[in-house]
Amino acid sequence: MNPKRWVNEWIENIKPYKPGEIREGYIKLASNENNYGPSEKVIKEIKANLRLIRRYPYMDSKLKRKIAEYCSLSEENVILGNGSDELIDMILKTFRGNVASIFPTFLEYKICSQILNKRFYEVPLEEDFSFPLERFLEQVKAKDIGIIFIANPNNPTGRAIKLKKIKEILELEKIVVIDEAYFEFYGKSCVPLLEDYENLIVLRTFSKAFGLSGLRLGYALANKEVISYMNRVRQPFNTSILAQIAGISALEDLSYVERCVKAIKTDRERLYSFLKSLGIRVFKSEANFLLLDVSPYAASDIFNKLLERKIIVRKFGKFPGFNGEYIRISIGTRDEMNKLISALQDIFQSSGFI
């Protein structure tokens, strides 16, 4: 028998998401994690409550209250997810219509749309990776678009779109999802717009600045009626008890997160200046990573040279429609960044790359 005959026909052409590589003993600068990790308070609370894993999770209301306080909203405006990926899936299950986004951007918008057999339209960014507002508006108006996804700041470019442009997109009266995974690094948010736009959904995560990637915890903010519809497709007990405890504890220790963000942003700018001094084309970023164009050299060559030095970055190579060979580097700890800079200095100056 051939199992293919039982498979939905649109599934066959889906390319699964490929996470950043990880190797024991290597410095991982590939997945935009906070390599400082969570605070000692978070670790202490997780250890103190390990026995609660025998229970179904029950601290979701407390966590939602903490999030609402953090975002100056009501608990009714918050829904939790097993990472932002699950929230993307919930949105696509809840709301009708085809989907639009930009390219390049976070791949899960496209993959989740394809899994649910929704048409996905991509509008290429400008050559400098800025947002193509006019072309984007035209595409949304021309197609049967019901849902729009925009990462702000965008991943993998690190560029942000101004609120004025987001308002123009919201005026189209489609469901507009602004993914603010890197909000803590950018500092600007669409959350104040929720009061005026019932079609706005804001995604946030504990995976980046809060250092909780492994626990899979995200949340969405929206009009309470939008949240109520999303709750109808949400699986019960969708966030673990340890994730809930960690999220609560992290929000009670925001000064630690702020110190991490400050250190990461400082090292981001230090790395940016260093790369510019080598003559490498590097893009300004509002997130915890930098995108590099290493052409005329191959991204795979630079990736492998760093791998030899036990440093893992994210290799993209060529983006269709864009000139260049791209690598994304996540900003790690101070010690990790010192080692990275030393390695890049050696690669680009001692190995004949420049």
pLDDT band at residue 93 under the 50/70/90 scheme: very high
Angle at 158 between CA 152 and CA 164, to 5 degrees: 40
CB 178 within 8 A of CB 202: yes
Q: Tell me the average pLDDT of the chain.
A: 95
Torsion angle defined by CA atoms of residues 223, 229, 234 and 236, in that order, rounded to the nearest 10 degrees: 100
pLDDT of 197 above 70: yes
* Single-letter amino acid code for the residue at 46: I
Could you tell me which residues are beta bridge partners of residue 200?
Answer: 176
Checking if the pLDDT of 42 tops 80, the result is yes
DSSP character for 212?
-
Residue 351, amino acid: S
The per-residue pLDDT for 196 is 97
Domains and CATH numbers, the chain: 3-35+255-350 (3.90.1150.10), 54-253 (3.40.640.10)
CA distance 197 to 120: 24
Of the pLDDT bands very low, low, confident and very high (cuts 50, 70, 90), residue 165 is very high
CB of 348 within 8 A of CB of 334? no
Nearest residue to 98 via CA among 169, 147, 171 = 147
How far apart CA 92 and CA 229 sit, in angstroms, is 12
Contacts of 81 (CB under 8 A, 6+ apart): 87, 90, 217, 218, 219, 220, 234, 238, 239
Residue 37 and residue 46: Cα distance in Å, rounded? Answer: 14
- Say yes or no to pLDDT of 267 above 60: yes
Q: What CA dihedral angle connects 228, 230, 234 and 240, to 10 degrees?
A: -80
Which residue reads 């899994």 in tokens? 115
Structure tokens, 53? 């894993």
Mean pLDDT on 281-285: 97
Least confident of 265-269, 320-324, 331-335: 320-324
State whether residue 238 is helix, strand or coil: coil
182 pLDDT higher than 90: yes
The confidence score (pLDDT) of residue 352 equals 61
* pLDDT confidence of residue 27: 98
Which pLDDT band, with edges at 50, 70 and 90, does 354 fall under?
low
The reported pTM is: 0.95
What tokens appear for 338 in the block?
A: 């010192």
At 208-226, the pLDDT tens digits run: 999 999 999 999 999 999 9
| DSSP type of residue 56 | P
Cα separations (Å) of 320 from 12, 13, 123, 248?
22, 18, 12, 42
Give percent of the chain with pLDDT exceeding 70. Answer: 99
* Lookup result for tokens 């405890």: 245
CA-CA distance, 43 to 40, in Å (whole number)? 5
- Rg for the chain, CA atoms, rounded: 21
More confident residue, 147 or 352: 147
Q: Kindly report the CA angle at 263 between 262 and 267, in degrees rounded to 5?
A: 115
